[in-house]
Structures are given as structure tokens and as C-alpha cells.
Chains A and B, each alone.
Chain A
């Protein structure tokens, strides 16, 4: 029994190591992924949205409280749909609401004519294209990007928040 138990133990030890390694790897990637999703970036059309703004200003804009930029351009909000991971993150982090609550929130505003509802997208590229094509548009994505028409909006001096 003993003779046979050693290799088994060794084997068991090796397997456990592999297992631990896998678990650690998964955890790493999970933490890394979560860390990636928790980071949001605001992008804006170069002809409307400002290059930087404070967190409170961004929230006022995204909550529909501020509807025009200082240059007079009308603010158009572009968000990812709440059935996407980025959309859920956006909903939780910026609005502190679930997806349904966000819908109700915007429905209320739209119904009462208090604000123009955001445009929701299922892909980031679509969102980026929309921001690029609409002056005054501002969108929330997961990582900073820049193009001829789109720029990353610095929030409190940081590219991500």
C-alpha cells in the first residue's frame, strides 16, 4: 500500500499543482478581465464634445441633465445596450442602475420630454462610428481610442475612469 501510495501522492501532488496553477491562471484572467471591464472611457465627436471634463459634468451629461455643450451643440448620448457586458458596466458604474431601471429612467425622461434618450448599440465599433458621424455625440466604451472625428474625453484628467 505504501509503495503504491507514494507515486499516487506524487501524482496527486502534481495534479494539485496543475490544478492550482489553472485556478490561479483563471483567477488572474478573471481579475484582469474584471479590471478591464470596470474601466470605462468616454469618447466624443471632435466637433462637439469637449476634450476633458469633470466626473460630475460627465454624469450630468449622461443623466440627461445637461443637454447641450458649451458651444451650443446638442448632446447625443451613445451607450452600449444593457444586455452587453459593457452596457451593464456602464449602467452600474455611471447610473448606479440595473438595465431595467435605466430603461425606465430614460423612458420617464423621454415621456415627459425632459431629455433626448441615448442611442444604444450592440457593438463598440457601431458606437464609435455613430459618435464619429454625429457632432455633439458622446459615448461610453471600455478603452480609449482616437480617430479623425473621435477623441477620448479626459475625465478629471484621466483617459479612463
Chain B
């Protein structure tokens, strides 16, 4: 529940008024009433004492002046209800061994009052007793005063309290209205103005500035609007500049993306180029078979036709059947190798095509083997002098891994291409006594499939080891590498497949790349 300023002001005033009203209507009258009663009782007691003293003097010294004066004073008091003189008599038993004190009313004023010696105070009467003792008489003065004056005084106090409370209430209401007007109204106006300023309306300056603290607040508010206006204008100008810059940046970004896409495509084409020779070599083999078998088949068909051209008696049907059978087998082989070439072409197309991103069960060992051969033959096709020892160690228990085969294949191809490049470089530096070796191994470790591509090339210098996965970083001569190969490979393995791609290298001894993919 939110309590606004006006409510708080009223609550404060009401609390003060309530406390004051409680004090004036209940506490103060009660205290005053009690004080009056106490004073009244003291007064009555003093009067009784005075009369008792007068009686004592009168009896002892036969001087009645004191008691007479006291009695005249008491009798003239309009509050007097009665005044009695009690006489205490000592009553002995017959043997004069025990006694009891018996009190009786000796005299009472006014005479018509018939009192009991044991009368006590009540709401309408205050009774006080003052004992006296002389040689001839002992007793007490019993003085009874009514409480009409007290009650009247109490009523007066209460009446005054009510009047004061009403006046205070009225004053409180006036103060409340005044406070609400002088504090709440300008504060609420400030709030509304601030709200409108918040909504963007800066024409909300306070026109009539007060001279109190709220006026200072209004001045500060007006200054805030001025500052806000200035800041808004500055911001608007800067925003325009930023907008222009942003537009430029956006164009640049689009250009960058285009360039990046082109670079990625270039990288893809580069890897395709690496493959082209290998692919050509791969296609050449089935094509040779197709050509050979088709040529042999043509010759066989010619032989069959020659045989069929002979007379029926000379025809060797068994030979014809054998020839036809050979033709049929040749056609099967042609078909087989044709399909093989078709598969190679499809693979090439698949490699060059943009990845669909769909993961599917992929035979990692076969993928490694395929790309190892393609890359090696590709390099060999470009450089007939190149030769390297290839070692493979594929763990047979590895079946398939859920992966995007084109992407993973591209990574393997990239690593192998780099490995062959490295051993070839070293071979050129050390023509003798160096045997270039590239090995590919697969393992199943802790639920992960591990692929290692190792070479015994020159290794990677320590100063660049941290940069090799950065985009556009390459150690190859200009035009031979885009610098995106390892960067893309890292993204494919880590982001695309949730795996790891690590490198270990010893400068001058070789490099080992390790791919780990979730099995």
C-alpha cells in the first residue's frame, strides 16, 4: 500500500491531535480530578484537625475561642454535610480486667443528621476523622463534606478539555489544509511535471517559484529541465552522428560478411582444388576400367558377330555363349566402375556444396581413409616428386559418430593437407636423410572418438602457436593459403560438434593435431 505525501501529512496531524485529545480528554482531567480530590481531602482533614485541636484546648484550658472560630468557619462552608464529635468511652467488664472502647456520637451539626460512628467516604461524600484526647474526654471529630464542588470542578475541567480539544482539532485541520496546500500541492505539481518531463515534454518549468525549500526544489527542477533540454539536444546531435556511423558500420559489416562468405567459399574452393588432383586420380582409375572393359567388350561383340556370320555348321555356339558371358561380365564391371566414378563425383560435389548442417551417423575410419587418399594423391598429382610414408591405425571398434560428414571431412582434409605441406617443406630443406611421414590414427577414449593427424615436419614456431586458430593467420606464402582453414576447422569441431581440437608441436620435430568428437 502506497501512502502519498498528503496522506502522510494528515496522518501526522491526526496522530498528534489524537494524542493531544487523549491527553486533554482523558489523562489531564483524570489527573486534575485526582489532584482536586486529594487537595479536597487534605482540606477536609485539616479542618477536622483544627476543630479537634480547638476541642482539646476548650476542654483542657476552658478556652473556647479556637473551637468556636473553627466551627464558625466550618459551618459557613457550603460544602459541609455534617460535623460530628465522637466520644470514646472505655467500658470495663464486671471484674475490671477487660475493657472495650465504644464510640458514640456526642454532638452533630446540623442536629438533624443522624450518623453512624463508622460512616466512611463515598462518591458523593468525603469523611475525615481527627482524634483528640483530654483528661476528661477522648474522641474524634468526624467531618463530612459533599463532593458537589469537586464534581462540578471535574465537569468544568472536562468541559474545558472538550473545548480545548475542539479548538486544537480546528487548528489542526487548518494547519493540515495549510500544510497540504503549501507542501503537498506544489510537491504533487512537481511530480506531475516530472512525469511529463519523463514522457518527453520539456515545457514543464515551474513559473511561480516559492521562497521556501520547495521553492529551491522548484528552482532545481527548472535547472534540471534546462540541463535535460541541453543534454537531449546534444544527444540528438550525437545520435544523428552515431546513426550515420552506424549506417556506415552496417554497410561495412554487410561487406565484411560478404567478404567472409567469399573467403569461406575461397577456402572451400582451395580445398576442392587440393582434392581435384586426387579426385581426378580416383576417377581415372574406374574410367580406365570402363575404357578397357568397354574396348574389350567391343572386340568381344565383334567376335560374336563374326561367329554369327559363319554358316550354321561352322558356328561355335559354345564360343558365342562364352563371349556373351564375357561381355556380360565386362558390362557388369563397367557398371561397377561407372558407379564408383559416380560416387567419387558425388562426393566431390558434396564437398563443394554448402553443408546442410544435419548430423548423421558417419563412419569416421572410412572418412579418414578416404580423405587421406584424396589429399595424398592430390599432392602427388601436383608434385610427382613428392613422396611420403603414410601410416594409419584405425581402431576397428569405432563404428559411426553422429556428425556432419562434409564438415568433419573438410577438417581432416585441412589437417592432412597441412601435414603433407609441412613434410614436403622439410623434405625440400633436407633432401637426404629425411623420410616424410604422415600418420592418421583413430581411437575410442572415454566415450570420445579421437582422431590424430601427425607429421614429422618442421613443427610450428612457439611464437605463432597461439595464433594458428585465428582467422586469416597463415604461415604459407601469399596466394597459397587463406588463413581460414584452421580457424574454420576449430569452429566446426568445437562449436558445430561440441568436440575439441588441440595441437602439440615440437619445433623441428613435427606436429600432432588431435580431434575429439563425442561418440
**Which residues of A come within 8 Å of B, CB atoms?**
81-82, 100, 103-104, 106-108, 110-113, 116-120
Residue of A nearest to B59 (CB): A103
Binding-face segment, B61-69, B322-330, B484-492: B61-69
What distance in Å separates the Cβ of A123 from its nearest Cβ neighbour in chain B? 14
Query: Contact: B136 with A110, CB < 8 Å?
Result: no
Q: Which of B85-142 contact A (CB under 8 A)?
A: 85, 106-109, 111, 136-137
Given A111-B109, A112-B107, A120-B62, check contact A104 B71 (CB 8 Å): no
What distance in Å separates the Cβ of B322 from its nearest Cβ neighbour in chain A? 177
Residue B460, interface by CB 8 Å: no
Main secondary structure of the interface of B (DSSP, over half): mixed
Residue B75, interface by CB 8 Å: yes
For the complex, what is the distance from the CA of A106 to the CA of B137, rounded to whole Å? 14
Residues of chain B within 8 A (CB-CB) of A104 are: 59, 136-137
Knowing that A104-B59, A111-B83 are A-B contacts, what are 12 other residue pairs whose CB atoms are under 8 Å apart, sorted by A's residue number?
A100-B136, A106-B58, A110-B64, A111-B55, A111-B85, A111-B107, A112-B109, A113-B72, A113-B75, A113-B109, A119-B65, A120-B63
Given A100-B136, A112-B109, A117-B64, check contact A107 B59 (CB 8 Å): yes
For the complex, what is the distance from the CA of A63 to the CA of B75, rounded to whole Å? 22
Residues of chain B within 8 A (CB-CB) of A107 are: 55, 58-59, 64, 67, 85, 107
Residues of chain A within 8 A (CB-CB) of B72 are: 113
Residues of chain B within 8 A (CB-CB) of A113 are: 71-72, 75, 109
Residues of chain B within 8 A (CB-CB) of A120 are: 62-63
Residues of chain B within 8 A (CB-CB) of A119 are: 65
Given A104-B137, A110-B68, check contact A117 B58 (CB 8 Å): yes
For the complex, what is the distance from the CA of A112 to the CA of B67, rounded to whole Å? 11
| Count: A-B pairs, CB below 8 Å | 52
* B40-58 Cβ-contact flags toward A at 8 Å (1 or 0): 0000000000000001001
Residues of chain A within 8 A (CB-CB) of B62 are: 81-82, 103, 120
Query: Contact: B107 with A117, CB < 8 Å?
Result: no
For the complex, what is the distance from the CA of A120 to the CA of B58, rounded to whole Å? 10
Instruction: Select which of A81, A100, A103, A108 is within 8 A of B107 by beta carbon.
Output: A108
Q: Would you mind naming 5 contact pairs between A and B with Cβ atoms under 8 Å apart? A: A104-B137, A107-B58, A107-B107, A108-B107, A111-B109
Residues of chain B within 8 A (CB-CB) of A103 are: 58-59, 62, 136
For the complex, what is the distance from the CA of A119 to the CA of B65, rounded to whole Å? 8
Query: Contact: B136 with A112, CB < 8 Å?
Result: no
Closest 9 CB pairs of A and B: A117-B64, A120-B62, A100-B136, A111-B107, A110-B68, A112-B109, A108-B107, A81-B62, A103-B59
Residues of chain B within 8 A (CB-CB) of A117 are: 58, 64-65, 67-68
Residue of B nearest to A117 (CB): B64
Query: Contact: B67 with A111, CB < 8 Å?
Result: yes
For the complex, what is the distance from the CA of A103 to the CA of B106, rounded to whole Å? 14
Query: Contact: B68 with A116, CB < 8 Å?
Result: yes
What distance in Å separates the Cβ of B105 from its nearest Cβ neighbour in chain A? 11
Residue of B nearest to A98 (CB): B136
What distance in Å separates the Cβ of A101 from its nearest Cβ neighbour in chain B? 9
Residues of chain B within 8 A (CB-CB) of A111 are: 55, 67, 71, 83, 85, 107, 109
Q: Which of B301-338 contact A (CB under 8 A)?
A: none
For the complex, what is the distance from the CA of A157 to the CA of B72, rounded to whole Å? 38
For the complex, what is the distance from the CA of A147 to the CA of B353, rounded to whole Å? 167
* B347-370 Cβ-contact flags toward A at 8 Å (1 or 0): 000000000000000000000000
For the complex, what is the distance from the CA of A119 to the CA of B62, rounded to whole Å? 8
Instruction: Select which of B55, B63, B65, B111 is within 8 A of A112 by beta carbon.
Output: B111
Given A100-B136, A103-B136, A104-B137, check contact A110 B59 (CB 8 Å): no
Query: Contact: B111 with A110, CB < 8 Å?
Result: no
Residues of chain A within 8 A (CB-CB) of B67 are: 107, 110-111, 117
Residue of A nearest to B108 (CB): A112
Residues of chain B within 8 A (CB-CB) of A110 are: 58, 64, 67-68, 71
For the complex, what is the distance from the CA of A116 to the CA of B108, rounded to whole Å? 17
Residues of chain A within 8 A (CB-CB) of B58 are: 103, 106-107, 110, 117
What distance in Å separates the Cβ of B101 from its nearest Cβ neighbour in chain A? 19
For the complex, what is the distance from the CA of A103 to the CA of B83, rounded to whole Å? 19
What distance in Å separates the Cβ of A99 from its nearest Cβ neighbour in chain B? 8
Query: Contact: B64 with A106, CB < 8 Å?
Result: yes
For the complex, what is the distance from the CA of A103 to the CA of B64, rounded to whole Å? 9
What distance in Å separates the Cβ of A62 from its nearest Cβ neighbour in chain B? 15
For the complex, what is the distance from the CA of A10 to the CA of B65, rounded to whole Å? 65
Residue of A nearest to B60 (CB): A103
What distance in Å separates the Cβ of A51 from its nearest Cβ neighbour in chain B? 28
What distance in Å separates the Cβ of A133 from its nearest Cβ neighbour in chain B? 16
Residue of B nearest to A118 (CB): B64
For the complex, what is the distance from the CA of A106 to the CA of B62, rounded to whole Å? 9
What distance in Å separates the Cβ of A113 from its nearest Cβ neighbour in chain B? 6
For the complex, what is the distance from the CA of A83 to the CA of B137, rounded to whole Å? 17
What distance in Å separates the Cβ of B133 from its nearest Cβ neighbour in chain A? 14
Q: Which of B157-181 contact A (CB under 8 A)?
A: none
For the complex, what is the distance from the CA of A116 to the CA of B58, rounded to whole Å? 13
For the complex, what is the distance from the CA of A104 to the CA of B134, rounded to whole Å? 12
Residues of chain A within 8 A (CB-CB) of B63 are: 120
What distance in Å separates the Cβ of B223 from its nearest Cβ neighbour in chain A? 89
What distance in Å separates the Cβ of B50 from its nearest Cβ neighbour in chain A? 13
What distance in Å separates the Cβ of A81 from its nearest Cβ neighbour in chain B? 5
